[in-house]
Each structure stands twice: as C-alpha cells, then as structure tokens.
Amino acid sequence: MKIVVLDGYTLNPGDLTWDGLAELGELTVYDRTAAVETVVRAARAEIIFTNKVILSREVLAHLPELQFIGVLATGYNVVDIAAAAEKGIVVTNIPAYSTPSVAQMVFAHILNFANRVELHATEVRNGKWTGHRDFCYQSTPQTEIAGKTLGIIGFGKIGHSVGRLGHAFGMKILFHNRSTKKDAPAWATQVSLEQLTRDSDFISLNCPLTPDNREFVNRKLLSLMKSSAFLINTGRGPLIHEADLADALNRGIIAGAGLDVLGKEPPHPHNPLLTARNCFITPHMAWATLEARNRLMGIAVENLRSFLEGNPRNVIKAG
C-alpha cells in the first residue's frame, strides 16, 4: 500500500516517529504541500493523511486509486466527505486526542489575566522590584479566581474538562450547550446563552463551528458581557466577529481576550486583534503538546491498521 502524508510537519516537527505508519505500507512524508502540488504528490496513493491540505471533489476526481483518507485532526472540513463517500473512500479523523492540552491552555489564558506572571517576571528582571520602596511590587491587580463564574459555551469533552478544572479552582461553573446535558455533573449548571454571557467573569468557547454559530460572538453578544469579564477562545476562530471584538476591547466593553485561534491562520498583518487592547493571542498551539501529538500519531496509526484489517474506526459519515 502506498501511503502519503501531505503535511506532516505540525504533527511531527522531528520529535516523534513515523515508524508506526511505515510498518503498514510504503510511506512518503511531506512537511508541507501546496494546493498545486496535491494531485501530483498523491498520485497512485491508496492511503492519504492530511491535516490542512484540502481534498476537494476536484482533487479526489484525480485520485482513482485512493481508498482511505486519514485526517490528522478532529475537524474534517478539509475533505469533501460527500465526494469521498460517492467514490467509496473511507475518511477517518482523530477525536479527543487533545482534550487535556486544550483545557490546560484555557487556564493558561485565565491565569494570565489573573496574575500576569510573565509581565511581573520581566519587570523584576528589568529592575522594577529592586528599586521599589516596598517589599512587594505589582504593576497589575492580582485576582483570585476562586469564587468567580466561568461560563463554558459547548460542553463536550473539552468543555467538560475545562469545567472540571474550574471547579477544582473553586469557580462557579455555568455552561450552554446545543442540547440538554442530562448527565451534567452536580457542580455545573446549564443555562441560556444570554444568562451565561451576562453572569460570567470568564467565558470559554469550546463549541464546534457550525453554519448557525459562525461569528455569533459579535457586537450584540459582547455588549451583554460584564465590563470586567474576559473571553477565551480555544475552539475555532470564526466563532468570533473579529472587528467587533477588537472594538469591544479598545472601548473597554470587556476587560480582555485570550485567543488561541483566529479566523485566518496565519493572520493577516492588519487583523485588528493583533493590536487590540488587552488581547493575548497564542498561535493555535493549544493542541500541540508533545503528549497530545503523540496520542494523535498513535490514533492515526490505529485508524489505518483497523481499516486494513477490515474494521475501520473513527469513520466520518456523509450527511
């Protein structure tokens, strides 16, 4: 079996091994593949793995030998699922591999707003403490998150994990979900989106992107937030109307935003959030701990192995 990985660098920049896939067929790994290179590189491959390289209906039409597509991520919008189904191509994804890492990043942003550790460490290094009149020094208010309200939009695996961490910190946990969570833990309360937005000190976006919620965090929703509240997004960039958020930050409508994802990645240099007041942006790295990437690699190998054994798993169905 000919196996081609179209864009393997983000999964494995050199600290993991492709040996598991190499054991299952003739493996070729490309760090990155431009759109114009996709058909040539994937030609005659029975197995393709992709992270962000798009496999459209047009591309799939040029790959008659293709039998299996492994998406090296949870989201699978890079593949035309309907076209793959018509051609009998099995498409799999990698669910739930990054849950602990993404939840950890949510709290990295929350704790950044609460304590600003890096800022104070830098100021100490620059002599601000040594020249101070008092035994302690702080350039920003220090905030205790115990007792604060954490609102979570999307209470799937990651949202639940974020809530569990918040509960351990002594926070009050509210969540909003598309469906009723009858098995929600006792420490979490399901509420309407409006109530969550009005009552929360921190709001964490952990919902999938759908046609119905694209840019739902807009001027109207932001106006409902407390002026002291913070928005955290480790979900999908297009959940937020970026110009509206930048305006809300610059005008002090909300206190700050911590974003690991943007609508376009890498961002355009004129994205207004890059210079917005109290906006801290990390470069889509919440998923990318060594531990999470190692889990991703292992699941990708097992997805292919199961397919080759005639019992495919983590299959994405059309429609």
In 3D space, the residue among 102, 105, 292, 70 whose CA is nearest the CA of residue 208 turns out to be 102
Sign of the dihedral through C-alpha 274, 279, 284, 288 = positive
Distance CA 28, CA 21 (A): 10
Tokens, residue 260: 């690991």
Amino acid at 284: H
Q: Which of 41, 284, 302, 305 is catalytic?
A: 284
Residues 259 and 281: beta-carbon distance below 8 Å: yes
Look at the block and give the residue holding tokens 């299996």: 68
Residues 114 and 138: beta-carbon distance below 8 Å: no
265 is catalytic: yes
Tokens, residue 137: 């020094």
Note the residue count of the chain.
Answer: 319
Distance CA 88, CA 69 (A): 11
Look at the block and give the residue holding tokens 């993404």: 102
Q: Which of 37, 58, 265, 291 is catalytic?
A: 265
Residues 103 and 286: beta-carbon distance below 8 Å: no
Distance CA 105, CA 110 (A): 9
3-class secondary-structure state, position 70: strand
Upstream peptide bond of 269 is cis (omega within 30 degrees of 0): no
41 is catalytic: no
3-class secondary-structure state, position 3: strand
Q: Which of 109, 160, 176, 236 is catalytic?
A: 236
284 is catalytic: yes
Residues 313 and 89: beta-carbon distance below 8 Å: no
Catalytic machinery residues: 236, 265, 284
